[in-house]
Amino acid sequence: MALLDLADITKRFPGVVALDGARLSVASGEVHALLGENGAGKSTLLKILSGAQACDSGRLTFDGAALSASDTPVQRQRAGIVTIYQEFNLQPFLTVAENLYLGREPLRFGLIDHKRLRADARAVLDGLGLDLDPDMEVRRLNIADQQMVEIARAMTLQAKLIVMDEPTAALSPREVDILHRIIGELKARGIAVIYVTHRLKEVKTICDGYTVLRDGRFVATGRVAEIEVAGMVRLMVGRDVEFLQRPPHREPAEIVLKVDGVSRKRGRHEARGTSLTDVSFEVRAGEIVGLAGLVGAGRTDLVRVLFGADAMDSGTITLNGEVVNPASPCDALKAGIALVPEDRKQQGCFLEHSIRHNLSLPSLKRLSRWGIFVDETAEKALVEDFRTRLNIRMAHDGVAIATLSGGNQQKVLLARCMALSPKVLIVDEPTRGVDVGAKADVHQVLFDMAATGVAVIVVSSELPEVMAVSDRIIVFREGRIAGTLDGFAADEETLMGLMATGRAA
Amino acid sequence: MSTSTERQPFDMVAFLRTWGTTLFLLLLIVVFAAWNPRFLSLRNAVNILTEVSIYGVIAVGMTFVILTAGVDLAVGSLLAFAAIAAAWVVQAMGGAVPQWLVALLVASFIGLAAGYLHGKSVTWLKVPAFIVTLGGMTVWRGATLILNDGGPISGFDDGYRWWGTGSVLGIPVPVIIFALVALAGHIALRHTRYGRQVYAVGGNAEAARLAGIDVKAVIISVYVIVGFLAGLSGFLLSARLGSAEAVAGINYELRVIASVVIGGASLSGGSGSIRGTLIGALLIGVLSNGLVIMHVSSYFQQVVIGLIIVAAVAFDAYAKSHRGKV
């Protein structure tokens, strides 16, 4: 009998069906891969499993008993389900031992028994074969060791099932080997692991079973031994809804944007992100260039540099023959480079503010009398114009943008950029969290912009999207350009190969 | 999700969120008037309004600061320093230039300069506004005491006193100035590009930066505005009292912040209005005055005002979560 059985799981968000009858079954001592493209519903399913979100309908059975949909994450942990997210859930200023037993410290006369705490922690770490100092503050550990602390903590919680979301995304090859050894150790103890990853070769090495989701639906499940990597890709990619294919474009036009030797060392200006090494390419008027790559390959880092949001160490950015090297987003916008950022809620929207105020903000100078007083009539006309052109569905322009669906929010942000009549339009993950119907609308906007002679750059983690919208695809890997492909000739296997290994498969 | 514009059923929580403070203010006025008719006398009304105007001027500036998710604890001390420095210059100048003009210019300039320093410290040194202005609160109070050894400076001429005690068409000068400042603040926030930028920076600083706004410049500007208005307020208070005192404006920062918060502004930035702040400032003024008329001890007044601040914010939080559930 399966340890975990999820059946008919459905979850709706405003405007999007995230999961539609998804299922997942995992046996004790099994390492089970949960596969799917970005937006397939993996994260939502994990959140429902960990208790972070409640499903709208569905049955959850664990260890022979039904789970209540309204369980909190703490209740699920007590039941034996522990989730390790990409962002770790550790207290950086506490020690390894304190983190392992946070909230469950051994007590002596009502006070924490530090001696026993340390001894218990030591025992758990030794049991996993981990050479970590229990007294070390967690913030001094590297990512891989912090991950080990998370796994050790799951052990102290008597976990029966450990969920790992992209556990190797930030690890070096050697660290991946260590992680896999530890997972083998867990397996030997009869603990089940759900392993979410985009790295399909790892699935072949470490996993026993797999389940594939696509567009929120269950697609297939089976034994890893009985399927090849190419077969998994086909299951993940084959889709019901085809993307609009970009019409083949006309004669090559003049070069608008020239990126020459852009390099940026991680940590010099910003702590996060990927180092960029000698990135050079050109974008012509009316051309759509897609940037493909795995998470952390440097695509977002590059477009943030182009937009002046992050600094670069060396290189030149030339616009219509003039060096611009924007030092701030303000500079970039003045020069004619616009960006729709990756994270709509954190970096794009003013969620509590009205749609109108969100859309018009960077254009206000043009919409003001003497550059000071906002001409609300002109402003409303601008919003109305884009509402009809982009088919933005809203009650009226005074409601908070937070009430719109993801697709309509994205259209407002696109309109914000379009209103500035940019020469270069950069869109980072244009359809992340956007429902299928609105995806086509968003793509049509990109085609229309290109048709008017704008140079368009699209960053996307969804390969079918990159292939559908791009005239040319530039593949990033570890902060460098791994290759450039013709958007019409490219196939998914070649792209995947370049993204994962730097060589065309 | 509905995209129709049909009338929603009457929403009590939303109604109270918009009008609750105003209704409470009216209720207080009715209760106080019933208790003692003298509360409604013209003289008392003028008295309340003049009191409110002195700190209300600063509350207008504080609204800008809180809209950017900042705070300024130094306004009370800055008010005293600007006033005493202005009085000191007036004394030193003799009588060549009108006293009031010298004082107004000096107090305003000191307010502007100090506000610029605060803003620069917040943006360049990346010290939280709470800490910068907590430091400023002590520094400016200390500077005030140093300047005249802790003593007051008085002996202003009638031209100077007019700004605090005079009136035009029966309306006290400080009330007129407060009205003008509030009107200017309202127009700036509601109808100018700058106002939109202030809301944007407080609503989501990163999104504002990516929308091409010079976030640092906006942040500096709001401290300059509140500093200037603290200086102006110091000038008005010294004109009203006839002396610039080292202990003037103590606890004003709390009164001012309370006005803005009771008026519905969120300390996390991005929402609030001058209209709300106006009601908040009036509420505090009416309450202080009314409690005196009811012979409630001044000790109790502090308790009551404190409770009302917490209640107003608690209700706001409740209204937000209520709306989120629908």
CATH number of the domain that A76 lies in?
A: 3.40.50.300
- Residue B10: inside a domain, yes or no? no
**What's the pLDDT band for B93 if we cut at 50, 70, 90?**
confident
Same domain for A298 and A193, yes or no, is: no
Of B3, B5, B199, the CB nearest to A353: B199
Strand partners, A478: none
Chain B, nearest residue to A329 by Cα: B212
pLDDT in tens, A63-91: 888 888 888 888 898 889 999 887 788 88
pLDDT recorded at residue B303: 87
Instruction: Give how far B207 is from chain A: nearest CA, Å.
Output: 4
Q: Tell whether A196 and A102 lie within a shared domain.
A: yes
Nearest to B164 by CA among B104, B239, B107: B239
Q: Which of A352, A362, A374 sits opposite B211 (nearest CB)?
A: A362
The residue ranking higher by pLDDT, A345 or A415, is A415
Q: What percent of chain B has pLDDT over 70?
A: 95
Q: For residues A318 and A211, state if they share a domain.
A: no
Environment class of A233 (CB within 10 Å of its CB; exposed 0-12, middle 13-18, buried 19+): middle
Decide if B58 is inside a domain: yes
Determine how many CB atoms are found less than 10 A away from the CB of residue A126.
11
The whole-number average pLDDT for the span B152-170 is: 86
CB contact under 8 A, A352 and B1: no
| Strand (E) or helix (H) holding B58 | helix B42-67
Q: Given A14, A328, A351, which is nearest B1 (Cβ)? A: A14
Average pLDDT over residues B276-283: 92
**Cβ contact A416–B213 (<8 Å):** no
B326 to chain A: closest CA residue: A403
The pLDDT of residue A436 is 62
Which residues of chain A lie closer than 8 angstroms to B192, CB-CB?
368, 372-374
Is the confidence at residue B2, as pLDDT, over 70? no
Q: What is the pLDDT of residues A152-192, one digit of tens each?
A: 998 888 899 999 988 887 777 778 888 899 899 999 999 99
pLDDT surpassing 80 at residue A503: no
Q: Are residues A232 and A212 in the same domain?
A: yes
The nearest CA of chain A is from the CA of B57 a distance in Å of 23
The two structure tokens encoding residue A35: 């596969």
Q: Which of A328, A339, A352 sits opposite B271 (nearest CB)?
A: A352
Same domain? For A66 and A140 the reply is yes
Residue B197 covered by a domain = yes
Chain B positions touching A364 (Cβ under 8 A) are 193, 196
Name the residue of chain A whose CA is nearest to B190's CA: A374
Q: Tell me, yes or no, whether A341 lies in a domain.
A: no
Residue A385 and residue A371 in contact, taking contact as beta carbons nearer than 8 Å:
no
Same-domain check for residues A248 and A296: yes
Which residues form the domain of B159?
41-250
Q: What is the pLDDT of residue A243?
A: 65
The answer to whether the CB of A337 falls within 8 A of the CB of A319 is yes
Q: Pick from A435, A410, A428: which is nearest to A345 by CA?
A: A410
A171 lies in some domain: yes
Among B193, B208, B213, beta carbon nearest to A368: B193
Q: Is B290 a member of any domain?
A: no
Contacts of B213 in chain A (CB under 8 A): 330, 361-362
pLDDT of residue A108: 85
Q: Which residue of B has its CA nearest to A362?
A: B211
Task: Say yes or no for a CB contact (<8 Å) between B200 and A329.
Answer: no
DSSP structure string for A43-107: HHHHHHHHTSS--SEEEEEETTEEPPTT--HHHHHHHTEEEE-SS----TTSBHHHHHTTT---E
Closest CB to B214 among A330, A352, A361 = A330
Residues of chain B contacting residue A17, judged by C-beta atoms under 8 Å apart = none
B78 within 8 A of B224, measured Cβ to Cβ: no
Nearest CB to A364: which of B3, B196, B207?
B196
Minimum distance, in Å, between the CA of residue A462 and any CA atom of chain B: 24
Residues paired with A218 in a beta bridge: A213
How many Cα atoms are found within 13 Å in the side-chain-facing hemisphere of B304? 17
Residue B67: the pLDDT is 95
Strand-pair partners of A284:
A255
- The answer to whether residue A399 is domain-embedded is yes
Please say if the pLDDT value at position B296 is more than 90: no
**In chain A, what residues touch B270 (CB-CB under 8 Å)?**
350, 352-353
3-state secondary structure of B246: coil
For residue B4, pLDDT over 60 is answered with: no
Residue A435 pLDDT:
67
Q: Over the stretch A311-322, which tens digit does the pLDDT of each residue have?
A: 888 899 999 989
**B318: in domain:** no
Please compute the mean of the pLDDT values over residues A280-309 and round it to a whole number.
89
Q: In a 3-state reduction of DSSP, which class is residue A459?
A: strand
Residue B277 confidence (pLDDT) above 90: yes
Q: What span, in angstroms and rounded, lies between the C-alpha atoms of A318 and A260?
A: 8
pLDDT at B188: 94
B1 to A372: CB separation less than 8 angstroms, yes or no? no
Mean pLDDT rounded to a whole number for chain B:
87
Q: Is residue B78 part of a domain?
A: yes
Q: Could you give the angle at the alpha carbon of A279 between the alpha carbons of A276 and A280, nearest 5°?
A: 165
Range of the domain at A360: 347-420
Q: How many CB pairs below 8 A link A and B? A: 86
The rounded distance, in Å, linking the Cα atoms of A82 and A74 is 9
The answer to whether A351 contacts B204, with C-beta atoms less than 8 Å apart, is yes
Strand duo A455-459 + A288-293: pairing: parallel
pLDDT of residue A272: 62
A132, A178 contact by CB (below 8 A): no
Residues of A in contact with B206 (CB under 8 A): 346-347
The rounded percent of chain B whose pLDDT value lies above 90 is: 46
- Chosen from B6, B210, B266, B326 to mutate, greatest number of chain A CBs within 10 A: B210
- Across the interface, of B192, B203, B210, the residue whose CB is closest to A339 is B210
Q: In this complex, is the C-beta atom of B42 within 8 Å of any C-beta atom belonging to chain A? A: no
Please say which residue of A172, A206, A237 terminates a domain: A237
Is A108 part of a structural domain of the chain? yes
Residue B325 pLDDT greater than 70, yes or no = no
Residue-level pLDDT at B35 = 84
Q: What radius of gyration, in Å, describes the C-alpha atoms of chain B?
A: 20
Within-domain flag for B306: no
Give chain B's domain count: 1
- The rounded Cα B7 to chain-centroid distance in angstroms is 37
Which of A216, A237, A258 marks a domain boundary?
A237
Report CB contact under 8 Å: B193, A353. Answer: no
| Residues A60 and A194 both lie in one domain | yes
**Residue B25 scores a pLDDT above 80:** yes
**Number of domains, chain A:** 3
Question: Are A392 and A431 part of one and the same domain?
Answer: no
**Which residues does residue B154 pair with via DSSP β-bridges, in sequence order?**
B243
Q: How far apart are CA B286 and CA B295, in angstroms?
A: 14
What ipTM does the predicted assembly reach?
A: 0.81
Instruction: Identify the closest residue of chain B to A352 by CA–CA distance.
Output: B203
Q: What is the pLDDT of residues A101-111, one digit of tens each?
A: 988 888 888 88
Residues 192-221, chain B: which have Cβ within 8 Å of A? 192-194, 196-197, 199-200, 203-204, 206-214
Q: Answer with the residue of higher pLDDT: B186 or A298.
A: B186
For chain A, what's the residue count? 505
Q: Which amino acid is at B98?
A: P
Q: Residue A307: list chain B partners with CB under 8 A.
A: 210
Instruction: Give me the residues of B, 266-285, that contact A with CB < 8 A.
Output: 270-271
Q: What are phi and psi of A495, to 5 degrees?
A: -60, -50
Q: Which of B1, B5, B210 sits opposite A15 (nearest CB)?
A: B1
Which range among A197-201, A305-309, B197-201, B281-285 shows the weakest confidence by mean pLDDT?
A197-201
In a domain, B188, yes or no: yes
CA separation for the pair B284, B312 (Å, rounded): 12
Co-location of A487 and A499 in the same domain: yes
pLDDT at position B3 is 40
For residue range A442-500, list pLDDT tens digits in order: 888 899 898 898 999 999 887 888 888 898 999 988 888 988 888 887 877 788 878 87
Q: How many CB atoms lie within 10 A of CB B141?
A: 20
- Do A128 and A255 fall into the same domain? no
Q: Under DSSP, is residue A256 helix (H, G, I), strand (E, B) or coil?
A: strand
**Per-residue confidence (pLDDT) for residue B314, from 0 to 100:** 83
Alpha-carbon gap, residue A328 to B68, rounded angstroms: 20
SS3 track for B105-150: HHHHHHHHHHHHHHHHHHHHCCCCHHHHHHHHHHHHHHHHHHHCCC
Q: Is there a single domain that holds both residue A248 and residue A132?
A: no
Same domain, A144 and A209: yes
Final residue in a domain of this structure, among A182, A210, A237: A237
Interface test mutation site (partner A, options B123, B189, B193, B206, max chain A beta carbons within 10 A):
B193
